[in-house]
Structure 1
Amino acid sequence: MCQNGVVSLYLGAALCANYNFPYANFGRKDSDMYQTRKIGVVGQGHVGAHVANSLLLQGIADELYLCDINETKVTSEVQDLRDSLSFVPYNTKIVNCGDRYEELSCCDIVVNAAGKVALAATNRDGELFYTTDAARTFANRVVDAGFDGIFVSISNPCDVVCTELWHLTGYDPKKIIGSGCGLDSARLRTEISKQIGISPKSIDAYMIGEHGFSQIGAFKAATIAGKKLSELEAENPEKYAFDHMQIEELARKGGYVTYAGKQCTEYAVANSAARVCAAVLHNEHAVLSASTLMTGQYGEEGIFTSLPCVIGAEGVEEVYTLDLSERELEGFHKSCQHIRDNIAQLDWWDEAAWNAK
């Protein structure tokens, strides 16, 4: 029986390889029997620590590698997470890497959560110089050490930092995923849900563009059960008619409602990042709003910004364009220009040299 079981195991592995089963050959193999899922988190502030906790609580990672320039802070977070191991779904190895970023090269995913939330008190652009300087301290060190996994970046301004990571390292842009408007899209669905009484999980609607105040709601393409919101409104205006601009603004500014009471955002953004990590590690081919490199969508290219993306083991596999109204399309272009204006303020950016590449 044991011999037959071993034969079956190896036959199963062979079939996975031969038929391109989506989970075959993915992950860091530590033995012939088991593949560990390793995630690194750079930055152990409000967001980074909550990302690590979400990954632990959801059982997404087998090993967590935590980095921070504040040795005392990262030591405290490692201790707190280890103390939680009796209460989480699975045992997880938790490693204190301090500022030894090269140790992240073994990871399947590296989450960039380096930032200083106090600088974002009025808008996400406030962290522009801090987070882009921080990225320069670790990005090349991780890549040069042999990292070949996926970057998931949540530091703000998200689209600028993602563009910088690509620019500085020359890394495959499909393997750089910004959390972008993933959380903003969840906020949009929640606000629509409150208006019409349908679960946000059953609403297909996206915020797109910059993860910031220039983002827009793609209402023309929003659907429920395959029916456009505009169709539902025409059929039943008493239930489905609402002020789109008001809802868009609530989604856009939702993070600052959270910030007002506790000077940070934590839970939702951490869960948003964990959702992207799960989509990668489980090779889900999930459609999520995420910041990715524009390669001609709506005539935009050369910067990262958010559109619905198919996300799997190799990162961003496909980018969807939506049917936008004239107002929405104009707003998307303005949003992209805002990202470019932010990038132009950075001392590493030489647009003429970059465009000549």
Structure 2
Amino acid sequence: MSRLSSVGIIGTGNVGVAAAYSLFQQQTTGRIILVDRDRRRAEGEAMDLMHGQSLVGRVSVLAGDFPDLSECGVIVITAGVSQKPGESRLELLNRNTAVFREIAAHLDHHAPDAVLVIATNPVDILTYVMQHLSRRPPERVIGTGTMLDTSRFRAALGDYYGVNPRSVHAYIMGEHGDSEVPVWSTARVGGLSIHQQTINGRDFDAQAMQRLFQGVKNAAYDIIARKGYTNTAIGLVISHLISVILEDQKSVLPVSVNPAGTYGLADVCLSIPCIVGREGIEAQVAPLINEEELKGMHDSADVLKHSLQGMQLN
């Protein structure tokens, strides 16, 4: 196994376990290390996965601690604290910041070269927090951002036009949340603009598209109302992002980053399509968006900056 080819997952809740299962089943890496405050839970999850090796192949899964992450090329953070009754959003964010401060210190010491993938919600806020707390370059701290929203968007458009979602190229950008921005202006199916051409017998219908987007935006709420949490699709998202990094694919993905001036935005983290490879974010690939979409990006940034006010980052 080459150096830094292992993957660490910090947090073995529903999302962390879904990510581990996806990595295991797809054999994205030969070694997965699970870290959790509840060591016995991490051990149980590792044992459970290892029993599937005869069906999947040789993938080592073990429970460990921060020193064991030193050989990891990518480390996923799904850990976080839940909101207490009567607790404000700001109080919750500050408690999660305290958790991330401890994690950042351990990772900077034991795994300074790893790319960090942030999956804990609110992902944009906590990506920004980790970029400030960690000593590693910001391009090596990536939030999953709107990768899941974009996957939902493409799946819905694929269903509408009767095509494989892999033939749909469309993005959700901005916040992973209520202010997310559907980029209609560059949406294409098989290279055809959904605005300008009839595709598989269907024309662009603004009202239908708005209903479609509302379904995408509310998907998490709908799932949580039924099963209590979301985990399987985000697990697949995390696994895909990790494979892109480990294989140095240089794929373009809508991940949460600091725009650093793109679209006139800065000092916040939100989703913009980026080239992702072994070193993390290699470049931002900002689509040419229309005025309404640009306004949506600025509104989304304002929402996130408002959430950051009063947070204890120092």
Common fold, TM-score beyond 0.5?
yes
Post-superposition shift, 1:194? 2.1
Number of residues of Structure 1 aligned to a counterpart in Structure 2: 309
Which structure has the higher relative contact order (CA within 8 Å, separation 6+)? 2
Question: Are residues 331 and 125 of structure 1, via their aligned partners in 2, closer, same or farther at CA, if it must alter by over 3 Å?
Answer: farther
Alignment of 1:97-116 (within 5 A): 97=64, 100-116=65-81
CA distance in 1, matches of 2:301, 2:127: 14
Post-superposition shift, 1:251? 1.2
Tell me, yes or no, if the aligned pair for 1:188 and 1:205 is still in contact at 8 Å: yes
Counterpart for residue 241 of structure 1: 205
Counterpart for residue 19 of structure 1: none
Post-superposition shift, 1:174? 1.0
2:61 maps to 1:94: yes
Tell me, yes or no, if the aligned pair for 1:174 and 1:316 is still in contact at 8 Å: yes
Name the SS of the counterpart of 1:294 in structure 2.
Answer: coil
Any unmatched runs of 5+ in structure 2? none
Question: Are residues 131 and 237 of structure 1, via their aligned partners in 2, closer, same or farther at CA, if it must alter by over 3 Å?
Answer: farther
Q: In structure 2, which of residues 139, 147, 153 is the aligned counterpart of residue 174 of structure 1? A: 139
Counterpart for residue 161 of structure 1: 126
Alignment of 1:271-286 (within 5 A): 271-286=236-251
Post-superposition Cα deviations, 1:204-245, rounded to whole Å, max 9, x if no partner, equal 000000111111100111112222211125x88844435332
Post-superposition Cα deviations, 1:302-347, rounded to whole Å, max 9, x if no partner, equal 2221011111111111111122222211111011111111111312
Q: In structure 2, which of residues 153, 157, 163 is the aligned counterpart of residue 192 of structure 1? A: 157
The amino acid of 2:39's aligned partner reads: E
The amino acid of 2:62's aligned partner reads: V
Question: Are residues 105 and 216 of structure 1, via their aligned partners in 2, closer, same or farther at CA, if it must alter by over 3 Å?
Answer: same
Counterpart for residue 347 of structure 1: 312
Name the SS of the counterpart of 1:94 in structure 2.
Answer: strand
Post-superposition shift, 1:246? 2.0
Counting aligned pairs with the same residue, the percent is 26
Q: In structure 2, which of residues 36, 43, 56 is the aligned counterpart of residue 75 of structure 1? A: 43
Name the SS of the counterpart of 1:291 in structure 2.
Answer: strand
CA distance in 2, matches of 1:145, 1:107: 10
Counterpart for residue 267 of structure 2: 302
- Bigger Rg, which one: 1
2:12 maps to 1:44: yes
Post-superposition shift, 1:288? 1.1
Post-superposition Cα deviations, 1:100-122, rounded to whole Å, max 9, x if no partner, equal 32321220000011135677xxx
Counterpart for residue 53 of structure 1: 21
Alignment of 1:196-215 (within 5 A): 196-215=161-180
2:198 maps to 1:230: no
TM-score normalised by length of structure 2: 0.92
The amino acid of 1:317's aligned partner reads: E
RMSD (Å), alpha carbons: 2.1
The amino acid of 1:84's aligned partner reads: G
Any unmatched runs of 5+ in structure 1? 1-26, 30-35, 350-357
The amino acid of 1:181's aligned partner reads: T
Tell me, yes or no, if the aligned pair for 2:259 and 2:272 is still in contact at 8 Å: no
Question: Are residues 46 and 116 of structure 1, via their aligned partners in 2, closer, same or farther at CA, if it must alter by over 3 Å?
Answer: farther
The amino acid of 2:51's aligned partner reads: D
Post-superposition Cα deviations, 1:239-265, rounded to whole Å, max 9, x if no partner, equal 443533222221111122211111111
TM-score normalised by length of structure 1: 0.81
CA distance in 1, matches of 2:200, 2:102: 55
